[in-house]
Amino acid sequence: MSDDHVSTPLAARVRRFEERLAAAGLVDDAELDAALDRFLGGASPVNGARIVARAWTDAAFRDRLLADANAALPELDLSMRSGLQEQRLKVIANTAARHNVIVCTLCSCYPIGLLGPSPSWYKSEAYRARVVREPRAVLAEFGLELPAEVEITVWDASAESRYMVLPVRPAGTDGLSETELAGLVTREGLIGTAAV
């Protein structure tokens, strides 16, 4: 388990549970690490990109995704299940008038299975504090200059709830296939620190 989560109550409980399982001889650290490796083996921003590309090409899927992402994910053989618990996913759509960005102000909660392991800056205290206070300045530091009239909404993830941004489909991509569209989507676009 990563040390950046140990300070949260849920993470501390999970670590105590892991220690009890090991002390009882039911599992050892190598088995726990192997389970984590199996989980992360399927974790990739490619998963989030597939979701975005489908939403860009299928209006009905987009509607279902925005209404209830957890119910829509199985259509792409994806889920938010992590062990015994299913985390709630809310997908928020960028528009010409609104830009969304995600953060976890307490630690670094993040939809790993859909976006891959989180970037180091996402876990940094500077990002976590500043993006809430001055999102426009932080986005500009990432190279994303938004017009003054674009409203920025910051979404704060938690241990139970995760967020993913549905970027605006780039102009001039009407003839691209779903696979080609997925290739345009970046992890930063899914977090909201970049446009696609």
| Chain position carrying tokens 């994910």 | 73
Q: Domain ranges for the chain, please list them.
A: 3-41, 45-191
For 75: left if phi > 0, alpha if psi spans -120 to 50, otherwise beta; the answer is alpha
Digit-coded pLDDT (tens) for 7-63: 455 556 766 777 788 888 887 777 766 666 565 556 678 999 999 999 999 999 999
Digit-coded pLDDT (tens) for 126-185: 999 999 999 999 999 999 999 999 999 999 999 889 999 999 999 999 999 999 999 999
| pTM metric for this prediction | 0.79
HEC states along 106-158?
CCCCCCHHHHCCCCHHHHCHHHHHHHHHCHHHHHHHCCCCCCCCCEEEEEECC
Query: Quick check: helix, strand or coil at residue 179?
Result: helix
For the cut 50, the answer to whether the pLDDT of residue 191 exceeds it is yes
Task: Calculate the dihedral angle through the C-alpha atoms of 64, 70, 76, 78, rounding to the nearest 10 degrees.
Answer: 170
Class of domain 45-191: alpha beta
Residues marked active site are found at: 104, 107-109
Query: Up-side HSE of residue 148: CA atoms within 13 Å toward CB?
Result: 0
- Give pLDDT, residue 118: 86
Distance, in Å, from the CA atom of 24 to the CA atom of 40, rounded to the nearest integer, reads 26
184, 196 in Cβ contact below 8 A?
yes
Q: For the chain, what is the radius of gyration of the CA atoms? A: 18
- Give pLDDT, residue 166: 98
Digit-coded pLDDT (tens) for 69-111: 999 999 999 999 876 678 899 999 999 999 999 999 988 788 9
Burial of 154 (0-12, 13-18, 19+ CB in 10 A): middle
Tell me the pairing of strands 88-93 and 161-166. Answer: parallel
Distance, in Å, from the CA atom of 106 to the CA atom of 7, rounded to the nearest integer, reads 9
Task: Select from 118, 140, 123 the least CA-distant residue to 188.
Answer: 118
